[in-house]
């Protein structure tokens, strides 16, 4: 068991392709940290540098109190689970599990004891004589996990280990990996592009984009106070609603479309008269009956019934984001299929509504937006604006 630490780590491919840039991250002893981001964000490169499969261009990587930059993979005492499992096809399950022990010259008897113990734990006891080709996807995944566990390494590295499983099995294995990690209390660095996986499994989640670490925090903090527009749009499903608005009345009011929204106890004095990006989570978009605060008028475009709840697409008058480069591309809902003129002034809000609410496409609807729950971001940099501003000027604006 050991800490893993990245210190100003950078990776450049072929002289000019920057894969990871100035990465600083510390994974505590026994901690489960998930590196998450869209494909090509450098998360796998970061992981492979810890494994020793990729050279570190600059900075230092430490495992325990040892700098491992120049250490061969086999001398790092870590175990890795690959996306495609990388089981040795010509070896039986038993030989696959025992391979690492054999390489480390563990006595035969000890090998047998440990392999059988792990096989028992993972429900592989009946398959020790089989070869990987004769196993199902889920069983192969277990063997890959087992091969990592049996070594009792200082740390686990996992590179999207669940992405080849079907949806049901993935949910099941997600819980199982979490359970195993908690039980063994082994430092774990886990890479995925799936933010749900990241949120459900990690003690802490590190969001990466274009080789740059965006934010590291507990899943809940990441969700509640994203550091920038990218994290806000990447974390959460469906993603956060984002649109542009103008700050008015010395920072106490928000204007978008034909809506004027009092910010109540909050204000953005520095942004008075300027435009900002406003974000609101789908579950905070509510149907307005019984709400005495500000209302936003809109029209229902689409209702997606999920059983327990429904996702309602509501078109409102507001300015869509211009800077698409600041957000996670995959997270943006498609714009409404209307005339171009209308498109420019309208935004689709996603609302997570109670299933008993009857709404039909085309229907006019009023939604309530609680200003206390809004997120604000700088239009240029995408950085989250300090939201908990003291009501210094709140009294002035009635």
Residues that bind other proteins (CB under 8 A): 51-53, 72-74, 76, 78-80, 82-90, 99-100, 103-104, 131-135, 137, 140, 147, 151, 164
Both structure tokens of 368: 């309530």
Cα separation, 149 vs 118, in Å, equals 8
Indicate the residue among 85 and 223 with the shorter CB distance to other proteins.
Answer: 85
Smallest gap from Cβ 92 to other proteins, in A, equals 11
Smallest gap from Cβ 105 to other proteins, in A, equals 9
Angle between helices 93-103 and 137-149 (to 10 degrees): 20
Indicate the residue among 86 and 302 with the shorter CB distance to other proteins.
Answer: 86
The label of the residue with tokens 């008075």 reads 272
Smallest gap from Cβ 37 to other proteins, in A, equals 21
Smallest gap from Cβ 90 to other proteins, in A, equals 5
Indicate the residue among 145 and 278 with the shorter CB distance to other proteins.
Answer: 145
Indicate the residue among 12 and 86 with the shorter CB distance to other proteins.
Answer: 86
Phi, psi (degrees; rounded to nearest 5) at 56 = -90, 125
Smallest gap from Cβ 124 to other proteins, in A, equals 15
- Start-to-end CA distance of the chain, whole Å, equals 58
Smallest gap from Cβ 5 to other proteins, in A, equals 19
Asked whether the beta carbons of 320 and 335 are under 8 A apart, the reply is yes
The label of the residue with tokens 């996807």 reads 137
Indicate the residue among 99 and 376 with the shorter CB distance to other proteins.
Answer: 99
Indicate the residue among 162 and 367 with the shorter CB distance to other proteins.
Answer: 162
DSSP 8-state assignment for residue 239 = P
Cα separation, 357 vs 114, in Å, equals 56
Q: HSE, CB side, 13 Å, CA atoms: give it for residue 180.
A: 18
């Amino acid at each position: 068991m050991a800490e893993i630490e990245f210190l100003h780590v950078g990776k450049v491919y072929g002289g000019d392709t920057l894969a990871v840039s100035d990465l600083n991250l510390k994974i505590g002893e026994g901690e489960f940290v998930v590196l998450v981001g869209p494909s090509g964000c450098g998360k796998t490169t970061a992981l492979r540098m810890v494994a020793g499969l990729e050279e570190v261009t600059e900075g230092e990587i430490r495992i325990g109190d040892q700098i491992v930059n120049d250490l061969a993979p086999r001398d790092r005492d870590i175990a890795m689970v690959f996306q495609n499992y990388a089981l040795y096809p010509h070896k039986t399950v038993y030989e696959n599990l025992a391979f690492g022990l054999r390489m480390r010259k563990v006595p035969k008897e000890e090998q047998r004891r440990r392999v059988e113990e792990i096989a028992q734990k993972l429900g592989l006891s009946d398959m020790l004589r089989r070869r990987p080709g004769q196993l199902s996807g889920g069983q192969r995944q277990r063997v890959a996990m087992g091969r990592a566990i049996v070594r009792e390494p200082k740390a686990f590295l996992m590179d999207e280990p669940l992405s080849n499983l079907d949806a049901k099995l993935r949910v099941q294995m997600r819980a199982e990996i979490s359970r195993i990690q908690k039980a063994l209390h082994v430092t774990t660095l886990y890479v995925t592009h799936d933010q749900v996986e990241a949120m459900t499994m990690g003690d802490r989640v590190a969001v990466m984009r274009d080789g740059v670490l965006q934010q590291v925090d507990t899943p809940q903090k990441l969700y509640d106070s994203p550091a920038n527009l990218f994290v806000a749009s990447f974390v959460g499903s469906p993603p956060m609603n984002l649109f542009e608005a103008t700050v008015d009345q010395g920072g106490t009011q928000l204007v978008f479309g034909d809506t004027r929204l009092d910010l109540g106890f909050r204000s953005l004095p520095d942004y008075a008269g300027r435009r900002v990006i406003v974000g609101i989570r789908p579950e905070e978009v509510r149907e307005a009956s019984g709400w005495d605060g500000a209302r936003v008028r809109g029209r229902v475009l689409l209702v997606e019934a999920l059983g327990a709840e429904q996702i309602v697409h509501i078109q409102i008058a507001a300015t869509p984001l211009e800077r698409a480069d600041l957000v996670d591309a995959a997270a943006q809902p498609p714009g409404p299929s209307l005339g171009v003129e209308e498109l420019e002034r309208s935004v689709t809000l996603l609302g997570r509504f109670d299933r008993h609410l009857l709404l039909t496409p085309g229907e006019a609807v009023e939604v309530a937006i609680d200003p206390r729950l809004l997120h604000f971001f700088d239009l240029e940099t995408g950085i989250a604006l300090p939201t908990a501003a003291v009501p210094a000027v709140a009294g002035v604006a009635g």
